[in-house]
Amino acid sequence: FGKSFVLAKQWKLPGADINPVRDVPRRKFSNARERYLTPKEAARLMEAVEASANTQLKHIVKLLLLTGARKSELLQAQWKHVNLERKSWHIPDSKTGKARHVPLSQAAIDVIKALPTWAKCPWLVPNPETKKPYTCIKHPWQTARDKALLPGLRIHDLRHSAASFMINAGIDLYAVGRILGHADHQSTMRYSHLADDTLLAAVEAGAARLNLTSAVQPGAA
Domain boundaries, the chain: 39-194
**pLDDT tens string 18-47:** 666 555 555 443 445 678 899 999 999 999
What pLDDT is stored for residue 24 in this prediction? 54
85 pLDDT band (50/70/90 cuts)? Answer: very high
165 pLDDT band (50/70/90 cuts)? Answer: confident
* pLDDT above 70 as % of the chain: 71
The beta-strand segments (E) located in 92-193 are 100-103
Q: How far is CA 18 from CA 25, 29, 110, 177, in A?
A: 16, 26, 65, 44
Q: Mean pLDDT score of the chain, rounded to an integer? A: 82
Q: Which residues pair with 78 in a beta bridge?
A: 123
Distance of CA 184 to the CA centre of its chain: 15
What pLDDT is stored for residue 16 in this prediction? 58
Strand 88-91 with 100-103, pairing:
antiparallel
Residue 97 pLDDT greater than 80, yes or no: no
What pLDDT is stored for residue 177 in this prediction? 84
What pLDDT is stored for residue 69 in this prediction? 92
Q: Is residue 22 within 8 Å of residue 2, measured between CB atoms?
A: yes
Range from 16-30, 48-62, 91-105, 188-202 carrying the lowest mean pLDDT: 16-30
Query: Is the domain 39-194 a CATH 2.30.29.30 member?
Result: no
Distance, in Å, from the CA atom of 7 to the CA atom of 45, rounded to the nearest integer, reads 50
Q: Is residue 94 within 8 Å of residue 69, measured between CB atoms?
A: no
Q: In the predicted model, what is the mean pLDDT of residues 199-213?
A: 73
7 pLDDT band (50/70/90 cuts)? Answer: low
What pLDDT is stored for residue 95 in this prediction? 63
Distance, in Å, from the CA atom of 194 to the CA atom of 168, rounded to the nearest integer, reads 7
**pLDDT tens string 101-149:** 898 999 999 999 999 999 999 999 999 999 999 999 999 999 999 999 9
State in Å, rounded, how far the first CA of the chain is from the last one: 63
More confident residue, 138 or 11: 138
The secondary structure of residue 79, as a DSSP letter, is G
More confident residue, 203 or 150: 150
